[in-house]
Every structure is written in C-alpha cells, then in structure tokens.
Structure 1
C-alpha cells in the first residue's frame, strides 16, 4: 500500500471524527477520554498538533524540552487548544487534509487517529463503522512495530486473528487472541477496556499488558 492511499485513509478518519465532534455539547468536550491524562478536547488538540508538526519543528521541540517527549506533547497540545472548544474543533478541521507529520511512518499517523478517535468516541457512546481496510492496515502495522506505542511488545509470543476481517499475525504457535480488528488494535494500543471483546488462550495476556 502506497503512502498516498494511507494518507487518504488518514484524511477520511480525521473528517469522520470532525463530523462526529460537531454535535458535542460543553460537558462532552470536558469529559475524560480513554487516553486517561486528556479530556476529549485535549485529545482533539493533540491530534491537531501532530498534523502540524514536521520533522524540523519536532526536533526543535525535542531539543527545547531536553528529550522529554511528554513535555513536548503537552506544549504542542496547549498551542492548539484555542480559547474554547469551538476553536479547538476549527483548528482540527483545518488539519484534516494535512500531510505534515513527525518522523514516523504514515501508518503510525493512521493508527493515532483511529486510536484517539476511539479514545473520544467510546466514553461518549459514539460508534463508528470503520472501513475494514483501514483497521487491517493499522493492525498490521501495530503488531510489527513499537514506534509510537509498544504494541509489538504487548503481542510478542501471541497469535492474533481478526474475526471480522483478514488480519492475522504474530507467533504461529502462540496462544490465540481472537476478536474484532478494532478491539485487537485498541488492546495493542494499551486500552484495557477492549479486553472483554477478545477471546482465546492469549486474551488475558494482552489485556494484562495494556
């Protein structure tokens, strides 16, 4: 899959998230997300910051914050919050078609928007029917990589199998973890609430590592 196709998936997920955010009321914007340190509004600002942070600015920020990546993320997030949630959403909308990114693969950016989209939707009871091709690409990336999240480490020695799509991977003789592709992705991303949607001898291991 080429980068242009991956960017198309990123843009589609950003657009879908922006559409879902448009109807939120004040309390929902202030609600906690599955990314436990952030509110819904802060997760949106974090996504905007990532869409505006190229390699040069990323490295400058790393140096400025003495390689404290959490401090850099907090600084960039604060830049994109705006004065209220209307401005937060407006800034995110302007980033939908951006192809600016830090020095990570485009698949990592796709994973970020899917995972953080769920971080927002799940607590608010919002459902998205993700294209299975999008979810499959994220799952394929996550089970092989620890860049941005330690997802490969969480699945090491396990055999993964999606029940709703073509994704499978991991150790051929490992303990099975089976479930929907989205649940597998979120478990790999360290979201323990999705463990109940997984079955198989290895399901407890991946849930415990989240």
Structure 2
C-alpha cells in the first residue's frame, strides 16, 4: 500500500496518474495547501521542503520498514523501479527517460508556475516578468514540440517522462498558450488524455476542488509562504 499525500494540482496529478498507470494500491491523504497543511510537523517529517505530493511506501521492495519519498521526480523514478514499469531497464533508455523527467522538474513545471503567477496571481502587473516567463515557456514548448516530431511519446514507449509532462501541458488554456502552434504536442496531449488510467489519475481528489486561480487571504498567505512558521 502506498500512502499518497496529495492535493489536485499538476504536481499532484503526476503521482496519482503514475499510481493508476502502474496498478498500485494507494490511499489518498489530503494536504490542503490553501489551509497550510503542508507546514504541519507530521507532513514535514516526510516532505521537509513543505511541498506536496509525497508518498510513504508501506511495503518497500527490500522488505524493510516503510519508506517515504518526496519530490515528484524522485517519486516517479522510485515507483518505476519498484514496479519495473514505464522506465526502460537498459542503460541508454533509462538515461533518456531520467533526462526528460529532470527537464520537466527543472524547466517546464517551474517556468509554467512562474508564468501563471505573474499573469494571474501577482497583486500588480509587471510587464518585464510576464514577458520573461512567457518567452521561456514558449521556448520550452518549442523544445517539447521538436522532441515529439515523429514520436508517439517523449522517450520511445510511454513512460514516466510523459506522466511528468502531461499534467503541466494540461494547463495550456489557463496559461493562454495556443496549442495549435505546437502540433506535435497537440497530437501527443490528445492521445494521452484518452488513456483510462491517466483519466482516473487526473480525477483523483476532484471532490477537493481544482486549482481555480482565486486565492482568499488565507490561501495567499499559505501558498506564498517560503519559510516555515516560527515555533512558539
């Protein structure tokens, strides 16, 4: 059994999709990031970066005590290795999948996050920031579009690289990106969204709500916080 500490966001969807695709038993433990639950001591014990998602594997492959994993790239690699699914066993294929997972972790996700922040959440419009991040996001879309030329998936067969990237591409409408400019991404995106397991993973936590772009003062405080609350 996998305990999934989760809230329905692109980063959360990466892991719920992977768990569904891999056929692993899991239970969802909600972490309401708008309420600041990511700062609770019990959660920080498994995710010291105070970010969800995180997992606890109650039955690790070595037969030892339960093991926690934080950071979505690390979780995806851990689950792929645990199940032997969605990552090649050969050196070169494995290397390639890890490269693209890291590309998403270091580039696609953070840059889309910054782009969305300065477009929709910043209390004042900063043209320089908006131009900076919009340009970088479009550059990254160009990279992925080129990668998908003549390919059904990012790395040969469907893999954790696709699971890492799809939930962020999902935000294209909200990000005001015209996906028709990126026909290979459009084809890939539409193909993947027909996968039953991916759809199930995307629907996990629907009852909690989906990112709306509307923050009340409590949510703004908790989602903008960069430091842990002071101990009292």
The answer to whether TM tops 0.5 is no
TM-score (norm. length: structure 1): 0.29
The structure having more radius of gyration, on CA atoms, is 2
TM-score scaled by structure 2?
0.27
> Which structure ranks higher in relative contact order (CA pairs < 8 Å, sequence separation ≥ 6)?
2
